[in-house]
């Protein structure tokens, strides 16, 4: 990703303060233009918040975890990866044994 020196971290273009530099370089914006920019920013922010909420929603987190776990044991053709499935089963058996021993 390249960095544009006139763009701040938030992605907005840096504008010189009113009265700074050449006044002809930065055209004055009307109140309607400013309101339209604020509305666009509000919509973008709302979309970002919606995306974050969707990403951290417990049901979606669980779904992604399930899909990831399945991808570890099932290949692209839908066949079980025997080596990985056996390794996971062995690990689960050892973990179950350790829990059983600790409770005794």
Mean pLDDT value across residues 45-53? 96
Percent of the chain surpassing pLDDT 90:
44
CB-CB contact of 83 with 73 (8 Å): no
The whole-number pLDDT of residue 12 equals 60
Q: What percent of the chain has pLDDT over 70?
A: 75
pLDDT tens-place string over residues 1-41: 444 545 555 556 656 555 555 555 678 999 999 999 999 99
Q: Does the pLDDT value for residue 68 go beyond 70?
A: yes
3-state secondary structure of 80: strand
C-alpha to C-alpha distance for 41 and 37, rounded to whole angstroms: 6
């Amino acid at each position: 990703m390249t960095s544009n020196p006139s763009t701040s971290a938030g992605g907005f273009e840096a504008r010189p303060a009113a009265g700074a530099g050449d006044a002809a370089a930065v055209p004055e914006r009307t109140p309607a233009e400013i309101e339209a920019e604020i509305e666009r920013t509000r919509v973008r922010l709302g979309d970002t918040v919606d995306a974050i909420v969707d990403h951290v929603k417990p049901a979606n987190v669980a779904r992604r975890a399930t899909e990831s776990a399945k991808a570890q044991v099932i290949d692209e053709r839908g066949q079980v990866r025997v080596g990985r499935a056996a390794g996971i089963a062995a690990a689960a058996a050892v973990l179950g044994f350790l829990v059983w021993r600790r409770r005794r």
